[in-house]
Structure formats: structure tokens, C-alpha cells
Amino acid sequence: MFEFLQFGSETDRINKIINEGAATRITDTRFIELEIKNFKNSKRRMDMITGERYYDGKHDILLRKRTIIGQNGELEEVKNIPNNRIVDNQYAKMVDQKNNYLLGQPIVFKTDNEAYGKLLKKIFNKRFQKLMKNIGEDAMNDAIAWIYPYYNEQGVFSFKRFKPYEIIPGWADAEHTILDYVIRLFEVTAYEGETEKVIERVEVYTEKGINRFILDGGHLVPDEEPFSTYFTTIDEDGDQVIEQGWNWSKIPLIPFKYNDKEIPLIKKVKTLQDGLNTILSNFQNNMEEDARNTILVLMNYDGTNLGEFRKNLAQFGAVKVKTVDGAAGDLKTLSVEVNADNYKSILEIFKKAIIENAKGYDAKDDRMSGNPNQMNIQSMYSDIDLDANGMETEFQASFEDLLWFVNMHLFNAGFGDFEQEEVEVIFNRDILINETEVIDNCSKSVGILSDETITSMHPWVDDPQKELERKEEQKQKEQDEYANAFPQPAVPGTDPAAKGGVIVEK
């Protein structure tokens, strides 16, 4: 089940990843350096960072500059005109909407083994449910998320979230289901004296443990603790303390994918989000340009140049004109109107396109007006439901891998062997429903379906089993109250005060 390794073992060899027929062999360390270099400059990592950046509201529009065509026909930046940079973060709204739809309600782990179920409920607690919401966010922003099962400093079995843009997976198969190794690249802040310094650390995860390095100038340098196993046990033999390192027989990193092709959500909507931001910013610019909303036709201006004219117009709101050679001075305008309705129409098109491409739903949909029936609600949710089906399929496979580590922990901790137990992972989707219609259907199903099935479909019930137990307790309480209110008459030959004893008359 586990492979035992003494402390101080050699750095794990990754040569099996390198083609055996290569003319030139490279060292493991050099291989890792090249992997890191390629990953840093890869399009995949850039997409991950873009997804995270857009979710945080740091969109490309914030870097926009206003430009004009210069004297040489080339674009030149202009700083004396409005340059609004408005972000309407519909992308983050879609991520939150889809994440809460699938993971907003607690995930239920259902098993027929009652003892096993209680152990799972303790492990997959509220802290884990919160972790899963973060995992869902990572999966959509970065296409893939990572959970690391480990023992914390107190020896408690726990889960940690690794940021996707820190992870370089080495897949052993083309379907990306089996890990051969994992490289983690992350930054930490340290101090040299009073000077703050950012250090790039590298951890290489294999079946034999964790190798640690520091990346300095693109080259790996062994860390202070260059190698460790995944966890240790301490045994006391008299006065002697024996510390042993242990490894899982699998690499303890579980990927949770948004889809099987590992495509992040940002790639589907980035251009639409940029277009929405641009339209809003341009509309605000046009509204703020004041005198530039009109083309000024100037005749016989009493000034030296147009720069002075614009300053006087902005400062005093007046212009001096004069008569020259009998020609009267004048100032005429050619109006350039900003049609707000045009902008509004384009904005609606962009927002609807973002919702459709992100496979979300529009809460202001016309189908939701009045008292919508369940068919209208399901129609509105069709796109997000299909996308959630694909995401749930990927997460179900990941939970199988995660449960393997949970079962191994329970076995080694002495709770029992549950590896062969079936576990159903249930995602409770947070969908809007017509409660009146659903409750009416539940009432009409009495006598046709079992109480458990009807109770599980009722919109007010979160835990069907607990609700059935409450119902049974209520039934028993009502029976007891009825018996106390209407006591049965005493049977001749018995003493009601006696505890079940019978008195025989002489």
C-alpha cells in the first residue's frame, strides 16, 4: 500500500520521460530546467494568467491609449482628450454563476455503510466544501485545478489547493489521466537583512517523494531540505524514538478539469468582454469630449493660433471674432450627435453573446416574467445545465482518485478497509424552481412512489433521510399524545398501578 523510503534517498530519476533513443542524454536537473522554461513561456500558462487576471477585473482595456493619425500617417498617442477605461466584468459574473450553480450547495457523499458515511462526512466537512468552490473557480479560470492530500503539522489528514499556473504535470498517457511526475514552481518572499527578495522554489513530486530546489538564474540549486517523503510516523521503542518516512503508491495530486480538452472559459469570451468594455469606454469618452461633440467652423478669429482659441473657449466660454476686409467674423458649428440608443443596442448584443458563449443563463430573461412554469425555467437553464454536466463528469472521475487517498488514510489510521465500498458523489445544483408546481407534483405522487423518493424531490428538503426520521418521530409523538389523552379502560383482574403484574382475585 505504501512504499517505505529512508530519509536522504537520492533524487528520483525522471529519465523514463526522455526518449530512450535520444542521441544526447540530459540530466534530470537539466530536464526540469527546460520544462520550467518552456512552461513559463507557454500559451497555456498565459491563458491561465489571463483567466485569473480577468476574473480579478484587470482587463486589457485598462492599458488602452487614445491615438490619432499623425503627420507621417502613423498612430500617435494623444493625452489631452478623455480616455475612459471602463470594465463591466461579465466574465467574473459568468464564473461565479456557473460555480455557484454546480458547487453552491454542499456535495453529498452517499454510501450504504453507515460507519463509512460518518467518517466521510467528518473528512469532507464545511472547510472542504469551501475548498471545492475555490477549486471550481480555478477550473474555469485555468481549465484545470489541483488538490493535494497531505498530513498537516498536527498530523491531521487535510487537503491543500495548488494554483494551476504553478503546476507542470507530466502525463503518462495521451488522455491526461495518469501522472508520471509533477513539477511545482512557486514564489516566496524572504529577507536578506532588511532587503525583501523574491525566491523561486521548485518541488518535484514523484512516487518516491518530493525533491526540492531553488531556481536561480534559470538553474536549479538543491534546497536546504532537498528531499522528503510525503509523511512520517514516529514510534517509541523504550528511550529510542524511531522516525520513518512513508510514501503513497500514487502521486498525491488530483486534477479537477473544467472540460476534457482543458480549455479555460476565458478563451470563449475574452474578445466579447473586450468589445463590451470598449463600447462602454467609447460612449463615456464621447459624452465627455464637450466642445469636441461639435466641429467648429471659425472665421476671422481674434487670436494667434487654434491652441489659444481652445484654451479661451474652455476657460472663458467665449470667443472674440472680428471683421477683416469687410468679411464679418463668425463661429458656426457642425453638430456630431451621440446616439445613446445605438450604444444600448450594441451593449445588449455583447452581453447576450457573452452569456451564450459562456453557457450561462440570463436572470432577466423574458421567459421569467409573470409566473413561469417549470418548463420555462428548465429552458432558461438548458445551456448552463449542459455545461455543468460535462464539468460534473470530470469532477466525478477526480473524486474517485481523491477517495482512494481517503480510503488509504482510513485504513492506515485503523478505521477499517473501505476500498471496496461504493460511494455516490451527489452534486446538489442550485437551480431556480417553481415550488408550487413541484410540491403539487409531489402530492400527486403519494401512493405511486415511495415516501423516500417523494421526500427527496421536495424543494424544502435538504436531507431526505433526516426528514423521514423527523416524520417518524412526529408520528410516534402524536400516537403517544393520543394515548395519554384517551387512556384505555383497566382490564378486570389487573392492577393499573402494577408494572405489568396481574392480580388474581380470590
In contact, 242 and 234? CB cutoff 8 Å: yes
For the chain, give every domain's residue range.
Answer: 2-95+125-261, 433-506
Q: What is the pLDDT of residue 316?
A: 61
Q: Which of 100, 179, 182 is nearest to 140 (CA)?
A: 100
pLDDT reported for residue 125: 95
* Integer Cα distance of 221 and 212 in angstroms: 9
Contacts by residues 17-25 (CB-CB < 8 Å, ≥ 24 positions apart): 17/170, 17/180, 17/181
Residue 72, judged by CB atoms within 10 A of its CB (0-12, 13-18, 19+), counts as exposed
Q: Using an 8 Å Cβ cutoff, are 376 and 367 in contact?
A: yes
pLDDT on residue 139: 98
**Of the candidates 272, 226, 285, 336, which has an alpha carbon nearest to the alpha carbon of residue 82?**
285
Assign 156 to helix, strand or coil: coil
* Residue 363, all three cell numbers: 436572470
Q: Give the residues across from 327 on adjacent strands.
A: 324
Q: How far apart are CA 464 and CA 451, in angstroms?
A: 9
Residues 135, 142: Cα–Cα separation, whole Å: 10
Query: What predicted TM-score, i.e. pTM, was given to this entire model?
Result: 0.78
The number of CA neighbours under 13 Å toward the Cβ of 155 is 5
The 3-state DSSP class for residue 65 equals coil
pLDDT in tens, the chain (506 residues): 333 333 333 334 444 444 443 434 457 899 999 999 999 999 999 999 999 999 999 999 999 998 877 767 788 888 878 899 999 999 999 999 999 999 998 999 999 999 999 999 999 999 999 999 999 999 999 999 999 999 999 999 999 999 999 999 999 999 999 999 999 999 999 888 888 999 999 999 999 999 999 999 999 999 999 999 999 888 776 677 788 899 999 999 999 999 999 999 999 999 999 999 999 999 998 888 765 556 677 777 776 677 777 666 665 667 777 777 767 777 776 566 667 888 899 999 999 999 999 999 887 776 666 566 666 677 778 899 999 999 999 999 999 999 999 999 999 999 999 999 999 999 988 765 556 667 878 888 888 888 888 887 777 787 777 888 888 888 888 888 878 877 766 666 555 555 444 444 44
Q: Could you say which DSSP state residue 488 is in?
A: P
- Greatest Cα pair distance, the chain, in angstroms, is 149
Give yes or no for a contact between 213 and 202, defined as CB atoms under 8 angstroms apart: yes
Q: How far is CA 230 from CA 195, 217, 273, 482, in A?
A: 33, 28, 43, 62
Residue 303 near residue 106 (C-beta atoms within 8 A): no
